[in-house]
Amino acid sequence: MVEETTDIGVAQRFLEDLAVGMSDRSSRAVAENDIERFAEVSGDHNPVHMDEEFAAQTQFGSRIAHGMLTVSFISAALANRLPGPGCVYLNQSLSFRAPVRIGDTVTVELVITNIRAIRHRVTLSTVARVGETIVVDGEAVAFVPSRA
Amino acid sequence: MVEETTDIGVAQRFLEDLAVGMSDRSSRAVAENDIERFAEVSGDHNPVHMDEEFAAQTQFGSRIAHGMLTVSFISAALANRLPGPGCVYLNQSLSFRAPVRIGDTVTVELVITNIRAIRHRVTLSTVARVGETIVVDGEAVAFVPSRA
């Protein structure tokens, strides 16, 4: 577990600013309203997300957030924080490991694991947790421009 | 290219209802309002999505949708259509291949490529296109319950 948090802000990041091992951690609380907005924008109104009575009878026991809502937080952390503005998202792998519920706080941790400078490719591990529980993990690849 | 479209509706789908080669196709138009809502829910307000003047000066030439907005349509197609209600999303790989712009219609095509009945795992190819251009592709794995 990486204990460092970098707060990168909004200035554009270049390849020359990055190094393997750099990390970032950010958190977002999930409100009922977030699930409702995600249902509207995605078109996924399944009752396991929207209907407490229905969800209580499923394996989950209560309403759960859409998995892709958590992924949208990973995507925003990449875009806003590490690598940050100017990067272009190329690839993402995802494993959905545990549900996220209303009121949970999702913490996204990004760590740069590889940089291929010639191709401008930066690979990051992407892990979302609620408390100590990993809810989504995977790996991202982004294009990051050079300052030159 | 698969020409068949299945409209599965909302009834729960079981493993016994599925076969390799089954496919589904669905479409969504992307409005400016969708990008604004996705920015709010994800927290990604980068100007390449939000600011036409800024975006005009980038490699993209105009505002583009968040990649994960397109992915949210893939996720909704899995949840709503194939495998459909009752499935549990386990894994997704994603490659972002081309931008999506305001006014584009995104067509999501899902094809079942493998079923591991003992483990209840269904693998699908997941491709999103605008016209003939692939914008996002990848592979999904879902758990689908048995009727038994």
Contact yes or no for B18/B115 (Cβ under 8 A): yes
State residue A38's pLDDT score: 97
Q: Give the pLDDT score at B7.
A: 43
Per the CB < 8 A criterion, the answer to whether B44 and B13 are in contact is no
Determine the Cα–Cα distance for residues B136 and B16; give it in Å rounded to an integer.
29
pLDDT for A6: 38
**B27 exposed, middle or buried (CB, 10 Å; 0-12, 13-18, 19+)?**
middle
B chain contacts of residue A94, beta-carbon cutoff 8 Å: 91-94
Residues 85-104 of A with CB under 8 A from B: 85, 88-96
Spatial separation of the C-alpha atoms in residues A50 and A42, rounded to whole Å: 13
Residue of A nearest to B35 (CA): A41
Q: What is the pLDDT of residue A70?
A: 98
Contact call for A42 and B72, based on CB within 8 A = yes
Q: Can you tell me the distance from the alpha carbon of A53 to that of A113, in angstroms, rounded to the nearest whole number?
A: 43
Cα distance between residue A79 and residue A58, in whole Å: 35
pLDDT of residue A115: 98
The answer to whether B28 contacts chain A (CB < 8 Å) is: yes
By C-alpha distance, the chain A residue nearest B9 is A46
**Is A71 within 8 Å of chain B by CB?**
yes
pLDDT at A43: 96
Q: Does B68 touch chain A (CB under 8 A)?
A: yes
What is residue B109's DSSP assignment?
E
Q: Touching check for B18 and chain A: CB below 8 Å? A: no
Asked if residue B128 lies in contact with residue B106, where contact means CB atoms within 8 angstroms, the answer is yes
**pTM given for the model:** 0.92
For A126, half-sphere exposure in the C-beta direction (CA atoms, 13 angstrom radius) is: 29
Check CB contact of A46 with chain B, cutoff 8 Å: yes
Contact yes or no for A72 and B37 at CB 8 A: no
Shortest Cα distance, chain B CAs vs residue A85, angstroms: 7
Residue pairs spanning A and B at CB distance below 8 A: 95
Which tokens is B79 given? Answer: 């949840």
CA A126 vs CA A49, B23, B143: distances in Å: 24, 31, 23
CA A50 to chain centre: 22
| B88-126 tens-digit pLDDT | 999 999 999 999 999 999 999 999 999 999 999 999 999
Share of chain B above pLDDT 90, in %: 87
Contact A91 B96 (CB under 8 A): yes
Strand partners, A133: A130
Reported residue count of chain A is 148
Across the interface, do B37 and A34 touch by the CB < 8 Å criterion? Answer: no
Query: How far apart (Å, rounded) are the C-alpha atoms in residues A81 and A79?
Result: 6
The per-residue pLDDT for B3 is: 33
Residues A147 and A47 sit within 8 Å (Cβ to Cβ)? no
The pLDDT assigned to B87 comes to: 93
Which two structure tokens, joined as six digits, stand for B29? 């138009």
Q: Tell me the per-residue pLDDT of B35-90, one tens digit each, with 9 for 90 and over.
A: 999 999 999 999 999 999 999 998 899 999 999 999 999 999 999 999 999 899 99
What is the Rg, in whole angstroms, of the alpha carbon atoms belonging to chain B? 17
pLDDT, tens digit only, all 148 positions of chain A: 333 333 444 568 899 999 999 999 999 999 999 999 999 999 999 999 999 999 999 889 999 999 999 999 999 999 999 999 989 999 999 999 999 999 999 999 999 999 999 999 999 999 999 999 999 999 999 999 998 7
A68 touches chain B (CB under 8 A): yes
Sequence-separated (6 or more) residues with CB below 8 Å from residue A90? A121, A141, A142, A143, B95, B96
Phi, psi torsion values for B40, nearest 5 degrees: -65, -45
Given an 8 Å threshold on Cβ–Cβ distance, is B38 in contact with A34? no
Asked if B93 lies within 8 A of A95 by C-beta distance, the reply is no
Residue A81 near residue A24, CB atoms below 8 Å: yes
What is the torsion angle, in degrees rounded to the nearest 10, for the CA atoms of residue A134, residue A135, residue A139 and residue A143?
-120
Residue B128: pLDDT over 70: yes
Tell whether A113 lies on the interface with B, counting CB pairs under 8 A: no
DSSP state of A85: T
Inform me whether the pLDDT recorded for B5 exceeds 90. Answer: no
